[in-house]
Amino acid sequence: DSGVTQTPKHLITATGQRVTLRCSPRSGDLSVYWYQQSLDQGLQFLIHYYNGEERAKGNILERFSAQQFPDLHSELNLSSLELGDSALYFCASSLSGGRQYFGPGTRLTVL
């Protein structure tokens, strides 16, 4: 158990819909990272938040957005969903450096 929690575990929705994925970092960790893992693209970095502020953006689509709240939990919002957005979404938390603790992921299926 990494100490990082993600909800929901599974999400099935239709194209065009909007969903919110939630991540609670390990106690004391200020950084939250979001990654997407799809069959064709592998594991890709999406966005990094540190203590409520956006620190870095990766290959995140404009339809996707994220935020980190004062209690340090983070949400990833995916809108106008397409079939290709079906993937595993992981969040990871870190206190500092490259050692990150990953959550169990949310499996999103867009039908």
Partner 1 sequence: DAKTTQPPSMDCAEGRAANLPCNHSTISGNEYVYWYRQIHSQGPQYIIHGLKNNETNEMASLIITEDRKSSTLILPHATLRDTAVYYCIVLRGAGSYQLTFGKGTKLSVIP
Q: How far is the CB of 45 from partner 1 (least distance, A)?
A: 4
Question: Applying CB under 8 A, what is the total number of residues that bind partner 1?
Answer: 29
Query: Which residue lies nearer to partner 1 by CB, 45 or 79?
Result: 45
> Is there a contact between 87 and 19 (Cβ–Cβ < 8 Å)?
no
> Is there a contact between 1 and 99 (Cβ–Cβ < 8 Å)?
no
Q: How far is the CB of 34 from partner 1 (least distance, A)?
A: 10
Phi/psi at 24 (5° precision): -110, 120
Angle (CA) 10-69-76 rounded to 5° is: 30
Between CA 83 and CA 104 the distance in angstroms is 22
Given candidates 29, 74, 103, 110, which one binds partner 1 under the rule CB under 8 A? 103
Q: How far is the CB of 16 from partner 1 (least distance, A)?
A: 26
**Diameter of the chain measured on Cα atoms:** 38
98 binds partner 1 (CB under 8 A): yes
Site for partner 1 in 21-80 (CB under 8 A): 31, 33, 35, 37, 42-45, 48, 50, 55-56, 58
